[in-house]
Structure 1
Amino acid sequence: MTTIELKSNLHLLIDRISDNSVLEAYHTLLKREVKEVGDFWDDLTNAQKEDIKAGIDDLKAGRKKPLSEVMNKYL
């Protein structure tokens, strides 16, 4: 079973639980396993941050292309 299938199945199972105490128990268990995720921005290099900022500046200046045009270039 793939990760996506497992997550989907877990979601379906949890969605069917109506007992609040059982849900709280699962929440407590799962919360212990999930590590806190920080802001991805903090993990980027300065060069990556500058590239993103340049892209945002391009968008603001109207320098943009439709996604389909960009994807066709790489597919």
Structure 2
Amino acid sequence: MSTLELRSTLHRLIDQISDDVVLQAHLTLLSREVTQQSADFWDDLSPEQQTSIDRGLADLAAGRRKPFSSILKKYAE
């Protein structure tokens, strides 16, 4: 099915729904999907989190790795 056919089918099905609760549920689901596509989770991270991820990726690229147990120990304290 093409994108145009999918959209047409969705429109037709939505037009057939008379239950406001069901329509609200679909509206919520579709709104979340559109919001997630347009937003990048990276922008929601704090600068400290972004720096930590960048540092971890640089270490990984350089071949430096930490045992998982040492990472767990850090957060257990």
Larger Rg: 2
- The TM-score, its normalising length taken from structure 2, stands at 0.46
Structure that is richer in helix per residue: 2
- The TM-score, its normalising length taken from structure 1, stands at 0.47
